[in-house]
Each structure stands twice: as C-alpha cells, then as structure tokens.
C-alpha cells in the first residue's frame, strides 16, 4: 500500500517546474506500478510543443480551459473539465492553456522523476539499469 498526499508531494522534489508548466509527480518508476501519475498545471496563456516519442500519455482535465492541436493534421480539440485526451499514436501536438489547466496525467513507461521536455518536446527514454 502506498499513500501520499498532493500537499506533501508539492513541497518535495516530486514537484518539477518549467516556464510553461509545473507537475507534481505522485507515482514514479520506482513505485513499480508500470506507469507514472502526475498532477500537472499548465500556465495560462502558454503554448507548449510536445512530442512523446518514447512514452504514451493519457491526460484528464480537472480544471481550466484550453485546447490541443495535433501537428500532423492541424486538428484542434477543445479541453475543459471532464475532457480526456490520449496520445495513443505518440502524436506530436501543441498544448494551449487559456486559463490555468489542471490535468491528471498517466505515463507509460513511467517517468523516473526529473524529466523535462527537450527542445522538441520529448522526454528521453532513460535506459534501464542492468539488474533492474
Ligand atoms: C500534459 C503534459 O504532458 N504536460 C507536460 C507535463 C507532463 N504532464 C509531466 O511531466 O507531468
């Protein structure tokens, strides 16, 4: 059994912040669940290019308003509370927040904890350690 609170996690190294977003990573790879689970806030007025070439991600909107555009076909999907979008094709996309967007995010494979996007919006696939 694992029990954590958002309130404790956001005051620890589980909180990772960038110019466009911050993320509180409640479950990580070393919890051995096969996925990681984060509460992410995308700052209002931002556009973030993202391309998870090495990960699958599901995103559920708890609060806020925004949109996601898939780069390949330029389709725009509105995001509001209750909306889920799923990057099942490793879709390259642009995430825009009109107001602060509070999102629950699940990653497979799980993140290690300190990843931030590189210049292409990608998280590296951290090599498994021998013996893992
Ligand atoms: C929705 C999304 O992918 N935002 C970027 C941050 C990511 N959720 C994370 O690392 O927690």
Q: Where are the domains of the chain?
A: 6-108
Residue nearest to atom 11 of ligand 1 (CA): 23
- Residue 105 Cα: closest atom of ligand 1: 8
The four Cα atoms 92, 23, 100, 46 give a dihedral, to 10 degrees, of -40
Q: Is the CB of 38 under 6 A from ligand 1?
A: yes
For the chain, 132 residues long, give each residue's pLDDT as a single digit of tens. Answer: 999 999 999 999 999 999 999 999 999 999 999 999 999 999 999 999 999 988 999 999 999 999 999 999 999 999 999 999 999 999 999 999 999 999 999 999 999 888 777 766 777 676 544 444
pLDDT at 129: 44
What gap in Å lies between CA 93 and CA 73, rounded to an integer? 10
pLDDT at 131: 44
| Domain 6-108 of CATH type 2.60.120.10 | yes
Whole-model pTM?
Answer: 0.90
């Amino acid at each position: 059994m694992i029990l954590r609170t958002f309130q404790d996690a956001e005051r620890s190294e589980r909180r990772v912040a960038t110019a466009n977003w911050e993320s509180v990573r409640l479950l990580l790879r070393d919890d051995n669940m096969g996925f990681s689970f984060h509460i992410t806030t995308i700052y209002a007025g931002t556009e973030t290019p993202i391309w998870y070439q090495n990960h699958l991600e599901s995103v559920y909107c708890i609060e806020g308003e925004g949109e996601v555009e898939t780069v390949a076909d330029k389709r725009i999907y509105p995001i509001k509370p209750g909306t889920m979008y799923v990057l099942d094709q490793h879709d390259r996309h642009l995430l825009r927040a009109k107001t602060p967007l509070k999102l629950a995010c699940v990653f497979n494979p799980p993140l290690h904890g300190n990843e931030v996007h590189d210049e292409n919006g990608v998280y590296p696939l951290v090599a498994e350690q021998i013996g893992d």
